[in-house]
C-alpha cells in the first residue's frame, strides 16, 4: 500500500491498482480490471474526414501489443512508478516498454496518473478501469442520448464537431445524409465533448488529453478508455456526492463567471429582420407586458443571397451599406433599457466575390490572408472550408498575432463601432486533422482545444475592453477547460420538433448531462432552430411546441428566443396576441426568479455547480431520482417537470416524481408527496403553468410568490 497525499494505492502482483481515500478507506474509488490486459498499445493510422464541421473517423491498427508484464515498481514517498514491457513476440512489442505513474495533484481530492510508452509510433492506448453491471454513468460533456442519460452500455467517441441535423430522427436524418453525407449526426455527436464522467457510486475520472478518445462503457465489469495518443494523462477524483465531484472537477476544468446582471431582467429576443420592423416587434411585446433584456440581431454584419436563401455575411464589420441606421437602432433600444447583441465566428468569407453588392469598408478575409492568419493546407495555402453555400478561411488560434488581430476586430468593430453589448461566438468545431498550424502543433491534438481557445479569445477581448460583467458572450462548442473561459453556453441547433433525437427532449437531455461536466450555465434556442419545410410541407415549429419550450426556458440560466432558420414558416413569440401574452407571462416568471438565479450564478462561479441539475445531484441516495431524466432541479429549491409531449387542444397532464418530503405545487398551492419516501403523482399543466414544485417551508419560494404577485402573474 502506497500513500499519495490523502490517497492510498495498492498494487497487485499483476500490476493492477486499487485506489482509496483517507476519508473512506473501505471504498474503492478506482481500480484497474483483472479481467483484461493491464495495457493495450498499438501502432494505428487514424483518418478523420471533415465535411461541413462533421467528421467521419476510421482507424487501422498495424501492430498491437496486449501482453504487458510488470518488471519494476518503485516509490519515492511522493510518486509511484510502475514499469514493464510486452511479451507479444512481434518486433515492435519486443522493444516497447511502458511506464505508469501516480502522484497527488495540487487540487484537493485529485490523484494524478498517467501511462506512456517508449515508442511514440505506438499512438493508441487502452486502459480499463473496473465497473459494475448496475453502475450508472453520466457526463462526457454535453451528450444527447436518445433514451436515457445513463451512458452505461454505449461506446462514445469524444470529438467536438457539428451536432448534426436529426441525430437519428427518421425520416429527417436519412434525408439530410443523402443531401450532405454525415451531416445528420447521431446520438454520439456533440458540439461540446469532455473526457470526464461521474457515476452513481460517486466515482469520477477524467483525462487531461485533448486527442480523440472513445469512452467504451459496453462491458459490464470494466470500462475502456481508448485514446489515440502515445501517452495518457488523467485524474482520479474523490468526492462523496455528485455535487462534490463536480466541485472537485471544476477546480481543474475552471468555473464560469457570473454573467452580466442584466440577463436576469428578462428574455433575449432574436430578430433577424429589418430594423424598423424589429423595433416595432419589441414595442408590441413590451406593450403586452413582456420583460425583455436584449434583442439579438445576427445580421449586423450584413447578409447575402445564396442558393439556400439569405445568409449572414461572414465579414465581422458593421455593414453600413445594408444597415445605415444601425447606430440609431442601437440607441433606440438602449434608451428602452434593451441591449443589442450581435454574432461572430472564427471564419471569414471573401467579400470581394459578392455580386451586385457595395463593397464593405473592410475585407477581413483578405486582411487575414495577407498577414498569414488563417489555418493552412500542406504547402501554405489557406485551408478553405465549405460551409453551407460558400467557402471560408479559418482563423489560426495558435498564431499570437492572429489572436491579437481578431481581438482588435472584436473590440473595434463590434464593441466600439457597432455598439454590440454581447454576441454569439459560434462554431469552432471544424479544424481539419490534416491542417497545418502556425505553432507546429499537430491539428489532430489541437482540434478539441480549438473551441476552448475560441472561447478564451472572446473572453480576453471582453476583459481587455474592461467589459467583463457587462458584455455577454455565449458559445456552443467546447472541451474540458471551456468553463475556464466561457461566460454562457448554449446547446447549438435543435430541430423545431418535440422528439428525443434532436428536438425538445434532446435539449433537456443535453442541459442535464452537461451539468455533470462543468457546464454550469447553459440554455437552448427557445423553440429550436432547424426547420425543414417547403410549400407548407415537412417540419416547422408549432405554436404549442414554442410555448412549452418557452416554459422550460423560464426555469433555466438564460431565456433566449430564436426565429429559426425558416422564420416565416415557424410560429413566433410575436405571431399573435395569444403568443405574445404567453411569452409575456413566462418572461415575468423568469424575472421573478432573478434574485434566486443570482445566488445560483455565484454557486456556479465558486463551486462549479450547474444552475439546472439532474435529480441525482440533489437526491443522490434516491434510486428513482437517479433514473429520472425528464425533470430537473433549478438549484436546490425548485423541481421542474416540463411538458415534453404534444397535447393539442387538451389540458396536458404528466407524471411527476417527487422525492421524499412534502412538495407544494407552485400554481395552486396544493401539497403533494410523502415524508416516508418518494411518490409519483399526475398533474394537469395548462399552458403557462408547467409542473413546478417547491419544498414546503421554502423561504426562496415565499419570496418568489411575492415577486409573482408584484409582477401581476395570476396563480390559480
Inter-residue contact 352 to 367 (CB < 8 Å): no
Report the pLDDT averaged over residues 654-669.
98
- In the predicted model, what is the mean pLDDT of residues 477-497? 98
Q: How far apart are CA 78 and CA 539, in angstroms?
A: 60
Can you read off the three cell numbers belonging to residue 364? Answer: 477581413
Mean pLDDT across 244-251: 98
Name the pairing type of β-strands 137-141 and 193-199: antiparallel
CATH of segment(s) 615-711? 2.60.40.1180
Percent of the chain at pLDDT exceeding 90: 95
Please provide the DSSP assignment of 274-295 as one string: -HHHHHHHHHHHHHTT--EEEE
Record the cell numbers describing residue 226, joined without a space: 481508448
Average pLDDT for 557-575:
96
Q: Give yes or no: 645 in active site.
A: no
Residue with the three cell numbers 461540446: 192
Over residues 630-650, mean pLDDT: 96
DSSP secondary structure string, 509-520? HHHHHHGGGT--
- 516: pLDDT strictly greater than 90: yes
Instruction: Show the cell assigned to 379.
Output: 504547402
Cα–Cα distances (Å) from 28 to 132, 202, 664, in that order, read 12, 10, 39
Answer yes or no: is pLDDT of 607 > 90.
Answer: yes
Grid cell, residue 24, equals 473512506
- Identified catalytic residue from 429, 453, 618, 629: 429
**Phi and psi torsions of 506, nearest 5°:** -65, -35
List the CATH code of the domain at 260-362+391-486: 3.20.20.80
pLDDT at 388: 84
- Over residues 537-544, the mean pLDDT reads 90
User: How confident is the prediction for the chain on average, in pLDDT?
Assistant: 96
Cα–Cα distance, 406 to 298 (Å, whole number): 18
Task: Kindly name the residue from 247, 350, 426, 453 that is annotated as catalytic.
Answer: 426
Burial bucket for residue 370 (CB in 10 Å: 0-12, 13-18, 19+)? exposed
Q: What is the DSSP string of 175-206?
A: HHHHHSTTTT--TT-BSBEEEEEEETTS-EEE
| Shared fold status for 2-240 and 615-711 | yes
Average pLDDT over residues 558-562: 98
Which single residue is written with the C-alpha cell 477546480? Answer: 251
Average pLDDT over residues 34-42: 97
Can you give the pLDDT at residue 682?
A: 98
Cα distance between residue 111 and residue 479, in whole Å: 21
| pLDDT, average across residues 462-469 | 98
Backbone phi and psi for residue 691, each to the nearest 5 degrees, phi listed first: -60, 110
β-pairing, 638-640 vs 632-634, is antiparallel
**Count of CA atoms in the C-beta half-sphere (13 A) of 701:** 18
Is 426 among the residues known to form the active site? Answer: yes
- Choice among 413, 493, 551, 637 that is catalytic: 493
pLDDT exceeds cutoff 80 at 534: no
- 3-class SS of residue 327: helix
List the domain boundaries for the chain. 2-240, 260-362+391-486, 615-711
pLDDT above 80 (res 320):
yes
At the topology level, CATH places domain 2-240 in Immunoglobulin-like (2.60.40)
Identify whether 61 is a catalytic site residue.
no
Q: What is the rounded CA–CA span in Å between residue 330 and residue 332?
A: 5
Q: What mean pLDDT comes out for the span 589-614?
A: 98
pLDDT digits (tens, 9 = 90+) for 339-377: 999 999 999 999 998 877 788 999 999 999 999 999 999
* pLDDT value of position 77: 87
Q: What confidence tens digit (pLDDT) does each residue in 333-348 have? A: 999 999 999 999 999 9
Measured in Å, how far apart are the chain's first and last C-alpha atoms?
63
CB within 8 Å of 399: residues ≥ 6 apart: 372, 373, 437, 438, 439
Cα dihedral 604→608→611→615 (10° resolution): -150
Give the C-alpha separation, 205 to 198, whole Å.
Answer: 7
Among 288, 247, 287, 294, smallest CA distance to 267 is for 294
Q: Is the pLDDT of residue 322 over 70?
A: yes
Give the integer Cα–Cα distance in Å for 200 and 211: 27
440 Cβ neighbours under 8 A, 6+ residues apart: none
**Which residues have C-beta within 8 Å of that of residue 378, sequence separation ≥ 6?**
434, 436
Closest CA to 277 of 229, 236, 325: 325
Q: What is the dihedral of CA 185, 190, 194, 200, to 10 degrees?
A: -90
According to the model, what pLDDT value does residue 650 have?
Answer: 85
Which run of H or of E encompasses 253? helix 242-253
pLDDT at 492 over 70: yes
Q: DSSP readout, 430-449?
A: ---TT-B-TT---HHHHGGG
Amino acid at each position: 500500500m502506497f500513500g499519495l497525499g490523502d490517497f492510498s494505492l495498492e498494487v497487485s502482483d499483476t500490476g493492477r491498482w486499487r485506489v482509496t481515500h483517507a476519508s473512506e478507506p473501505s471504498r474503492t474509488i478506482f481500480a484497474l480490471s483483472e479481467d483484461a490486459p493491464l495495457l493495450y498499445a498499438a501502432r494505428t493510422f487514424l483518418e478523420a474526414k471533415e465535411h461541413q464541421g462533421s467528421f467521419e473517423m476510421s482507424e487501422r491498427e498495424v501492430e498491437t501489443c496486449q501482453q504487458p508484464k510488470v518488471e519494476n515498481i518503485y516509490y519515492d514517498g511522493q510518486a509511484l512508478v510502475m514499469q514493464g514491457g510486452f511479451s507479444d513476440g512481434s518486433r515492435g512489442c519486443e522493444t516497447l516498454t511502458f511506464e505508469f505513474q501516480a502522484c497527488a495533484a495540487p487540487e484537493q481530492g485529485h490523484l494524478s496518473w498517467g501511462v506512456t510508452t517508449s515508442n511514440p509510433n505506438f499512438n493508441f492506448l487502452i486502459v480499463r478501469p473496473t465497473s459494475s453491471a448496475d453502475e450508472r454513468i453520466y457526463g462526457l460533456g454535453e451528450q444527447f442520448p436518445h433514451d436515457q442519460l445513463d451512458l452505461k452500455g454505449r461506446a462514445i467517441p469524444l470529438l467536438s464537431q457539428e451536432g448534426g441535423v436529426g441525430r437519428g430522427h427518421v425520416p429527417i436524418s436519412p434525408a439530410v445524409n443523402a443531401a450532405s453525407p454525415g451531416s445528420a449526426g447521431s446520438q454520439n455527436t456533440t458540439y461540446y465533448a469532455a473526457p470526464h464522467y461521474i457515476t452513481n457510486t460517486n466515482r469520477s475520472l477524467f483525462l487531461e488529453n485533448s486527442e480523440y478518445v472513445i469512452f467504451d462503457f459496453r462491458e459490464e465489469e470494466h470500462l475502456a478508455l481508448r485514446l489515440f495518443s502515445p501517452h495518457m494523462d488523467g485524474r482520479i477524483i474523490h468526492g462523496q456526492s455528485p455535487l462534490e465531484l463536480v466541485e472537485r472537477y471544476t477546480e481543474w476544468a475552471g468555473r464560469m463567471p457570473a454573467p452580466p446582471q442584466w440577463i436576469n431582467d428578462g428574455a433575449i429576443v432574436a430578430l433577424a429582420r429589418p430594423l424598423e420592423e424589429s423595433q416595432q416587434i419589441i414595442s408590441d411585446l413590451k406593450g403586452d407586458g413582456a420583460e425583455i433584456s436584449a434583442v439579438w440581431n445576427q445580421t449586423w454584419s450584413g447578409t447575402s443571397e445564396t442558393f439556400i436563401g439569405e445568409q449572414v455575411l461572414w465579414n465581422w464589420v458593421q455593414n453600413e451599406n445594408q444597415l445605415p441606421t444601425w447606430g440609431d437602432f442601437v440607441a433606440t433600444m438602449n434608451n428602452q433599457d434593451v441591449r443589442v447583441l450581435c454574432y461572430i465566428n472564427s471564419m471569414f468569407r471573401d467579400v470581394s466575390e459578392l455580386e451586385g453588392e457595395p463593397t464593405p469598408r473592410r475585407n477581413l478575409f483578405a486582411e487575414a490572408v495577407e498577414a498569414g492568419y488563417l489555418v493552412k493546407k500542406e504547402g501554405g495555402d489557406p485551408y478553405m472550408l465549405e460551409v453551407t453555400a460558400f467557402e471560408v478561411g479559418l482563423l489560426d488560434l495558435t498564431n499570437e498575432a492572429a489572436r491579437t488581430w481578431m481581438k482588435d476586430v472584436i473590440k473595434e468593430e463590434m464593441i466600439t463601432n457597432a455598439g454590440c453589448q454581447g454576441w454569439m461566438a459560434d462554431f469552432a468545431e471544424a479544424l481539419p486533422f490534416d491542417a497545418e498550424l502556425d505553432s507546429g502543433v499537430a491539428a489532430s491534438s489541437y482540434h478539441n482545444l480549438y473551441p476552448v481557445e475560441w472561447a478564451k479569445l472572446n473572453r480576453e477581448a471582453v476583459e481587455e475592453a474592461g467589459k467583463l460583467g457587462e458584455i455577454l458572450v455565449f458559445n456552443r462548442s467546447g472541451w474540458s477547460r471551456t468553463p475556464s473561459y466561457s461566460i454562457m453556453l448554449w446547446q447549438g441547433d435543435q430541430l423545431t420538433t418535440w422528439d428525443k433525437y434532436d428536438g425538445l427532449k434532446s435539449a433537456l437531455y443535453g442541459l442535464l448531462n452537461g451539468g455533470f461536466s462543468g457546464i454550469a450555465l447553459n440554455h437552448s434556442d427557445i423553440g429550436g432552430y432547424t426547420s425543414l419545410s417547403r410549400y407548407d410541407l415537412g417540419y416547422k415549429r408549432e405554436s404549442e411546441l414554442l410555448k412549452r419550450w418557452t416554459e422550460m426556458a423560464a426555469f433555466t440560466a438564460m431565456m433566449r428566443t430564436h426565429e429559426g432558420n425558416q422564420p416565416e414558416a415557424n410560429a413566433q413569440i410575436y405571431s399573435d396576441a395569444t403568443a405574445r401574452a404567453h411569452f409575456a407571462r413566462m418572461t415575468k416568471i423568469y424575472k421573478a426568479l432573478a434574485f434566486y438565479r443570482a445566488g445560483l450564478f455565484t454557486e456556479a462561479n465558486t463551486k462549479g455547480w450547474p444552475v439546472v441539475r439532474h435529480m441525482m445531484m440533489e437526491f443522490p441516495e434516491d434510486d428513482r431520482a437517479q433514473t429520472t431524466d425528464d425533470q430537473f432541479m433549478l438549484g436546490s429549491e425548485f423541481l421542474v417537470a416540463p411538458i415534453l409531449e404534444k397535447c393539442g387542444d387538451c389540458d396536458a397532464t404528466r407524471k411527476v416524481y417527487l422525492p421524499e418530503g412534502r412538495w407544494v405545487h407552485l400554481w395552486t398551492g396544493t401539497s403533494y408527496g410523502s415524508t416516508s419516501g418518494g411518490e409519483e403523482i399526475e398533474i394537469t399543466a395548462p399552458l403557462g403553468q408547467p409542473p413546478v414544485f417547491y419544498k414546503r417551508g421554502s423561504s426562496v419560494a415565499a419570496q418568489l410568490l411575492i415577486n409573482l404577485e408584484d409582477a401581476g402573474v395570476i396563480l390559480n
